[in-house]
Amino acid sequence: MNCDLLVIGAGGAGLAAAVTAAEAGSSAIILDRLRVTGGATVFAKGIFAVGSKFQKELGIDISADEAFLQHMFYTHYLANARLVRAIIDKSADTIHWLDERGTEFIKPAELYPGAPRTWHTMKREGKSITKALEKIAKELGVPIHFRTRAKKLIMKDGRVAGVTAEDKDGNQVEYTAKAVVIASGGFANNEEMMEKYTQAGKHTIEMAFGQVAKEGDGVLMAWEAGAAKEGTSVIQRGLAGVMKKKEVLKEAPKKSQFDKHITAILKQPTFWVNANGERFFNECEFSFAHIGNAMSKQPGQVLFNMFDDDYRKYMEEQGTDVGLGVFAPKGTKIPSVVEAIQASIDKDEAWVCNSLEELAEKAGMDYETLKENVDEYNASCDKGHDDLFAKNPEYMKPVRTPPFYAIKGHPTHVGTLGGIKINHTTEVIREDSATGLDVIPGLYAAGNVAGGMYGDTYDASHTLGLTLAFAVNSGRIAGESALKYMGK
């Protein structure tokens, strides 16, 4: 089989690359190892942009300069500044490009209190992007070969000349192409790579939400063809998650109400300790990237969200202090905290106890340490100032009235954010390049397979929605770069 541009992966990045090339008159083929388009993209709720028409309509004024400088400062200038600039500069145009192609945007929203409104939410979430682009790809005659897994890049005279893939019947199929875009979405499901390259390690695999078939195929085949590595340790950390009961997982839709409530409870800025019973975090730091980073340094990478019966009543009667995105906005009243816990969490993952001593014993903590930390926290609540972590006094509620509650939170992530080193036009950089400028001709990488955007940690504070924005924008840029390379 032959085409101008071969795209590996039909998620946000791959679809954007293929549509860009096909709209300019090039022939493109997309391969996806699954039966449907969308990848992890379908789970995303919002996409980053600055300067979009939707922001202008609401008077939201964040400039590209501001976003760029904030992001570079946040990443300690470890990120690839030219790449960051290219993505931020294109972000508004991409919102309009998607809007014109049928993506239905809701509005630029904030994900948590005080967050900048860069997160453009969509009806039907990420599907609104992938379904719109899939429709256009079909109209433009771009075949999508499902259940076809790309295995190896074909190289000729130092250039990429196509891909060898395995079709649904196990046959080896050769695709020859003038250029290839790798957009296969990272390695979250590859236990060995997670262990080797990320600090999250093996045990977060079971908490990798929305990740299917992300075995690092694209990353590995690029490295095999001589690509350099970049950003392999960065993962997109999520909220702390609860270990749900097996029967809840089986009947997820039926019990999803409880999942929503338990996750909302876990997110509340109550009193959080680690497995030693020691407070380790300003619970009002709402960026889940920061929560995840702090958790990753704790024993067992877990946290215990603790509160007393007054706060239980408060959540039931007044509602939550912090919202859970669109699922359970701030002020959502939890119908029954105990029922939510019992319905979704195994008994050794959450506790209701009449004394702190009993709670410490059940949760496996040292009672003296826990008591010392509770006393210190309660004194800060009384004083109205958190001497330790400067928590916002508005959210400081003592842990004093029995019974006491504790829920264990586990680290989660929604994908890996690195692997292949690219430049600001998404060309893949050669590992043996002394200057760091030499590329593998005809090879491009976009979306979660490519590194360079984040330095050593993902950001969920200044540039909300940036990973999806990176996928779609880098996909578009890859399509444009490939067109140029092909002389189109």
Ligand X SMILES: Cc1cc2nc3c(=O)[nH]c(=O)nc-3n(C[C@H](O)[C@H](O)[C@H](O)COP(=O)(O)OP(=O)(O)OC[C@H]3O[C@@H](n4cnc5c(N)ncnc54)[C@H](O)[C@@H]3O)c2cc1C
CB 428 within 8 A of CB 223: no
Which pair of structure tokens corresponds to residue 230?
Answer: 């970049």
Least Å from the CB of residue 463 to ligand X = 9
State which amino acid sits at residue 175.
Answer: Y
Tokens 């009193």 locate to 271
137-156 binders of ligand X (CB under 6 A) = 149-150
Beta strands in 342-395 (DSSP E): 350-353
Binding residue for ligand X (CB under 6 A) from 5, 7, 22, 44? 44
Which pair of structure tokens corresponds to residue 338?
Answer: 């105990």
Binding residue for ligand X (CB under 6 A) from 28, 88, 181, 183? 183
377-396 binders of ligand X (CB under 6 A) = none
Instruction: Give the ranges where 24-177 is alpha helix by DSSP (H).
Output: 53-57, 64-74, 81-100, 127-139
Beta strands in 422-469 (DSSP E): 427-429, 439-445
Asked whether position 179 contacts ligand X by CB under 6 A, the answer is no
Asked whether position 467 contacts ligand X by CB under 6 A, the answer is yes
CB 239 within 8 A of CB 265: no
Asked whether position 479 contacts ligand X by CB under 6 A, the answer is no
Which pair of structure tokens corresponds to residue 356?
Answer: 């702190």
Least Å from the CB of residue 452 to ligand X = 14
Asked whether position 11 contacts ligand X by CB under 6 A, the answer is yes
CA 1 to chain centre: 35
CB 445 within 8 A of CB 428: yes
Q: Which stretch in 180-188, 243-251, 310-318, 399-407 sits in contact with ligand X by CB under 6 A?
A: 180-188
Q: Which is nearer to ligand X, 33 or 391 (CB)?
A: 33
Binding residue for ligand X (CB under 6 A) from 13, 160, 161, 439? 13
Asked whether position 194 contacts ligand X by CB under 6 A, the answer is no
Q: Which is nearer to ligand X, 34 or 154 (CB)?
A: 34
CA 17 to chain centre: 20
| CA–CA distance, 445 with 426 (Å, rounded to integer) | 6
399-438 binders of ligand X (CB under 6 A) = 414-415
Asked whether position 116 contacts ligand X by CB under 6 A, the answer is no
Q: Which is nearer to ligand X, 176 or 355 (CB)?
A: 176
Instruction: Give the residues lining the site for ligand X (CB under 6 A).
Output: 8-14, 31-34, 39-41, 43-47, 126, 149-150, 183-185, 209-210, 213, 217, 236, 414-415, 447-448, 465-469, 471
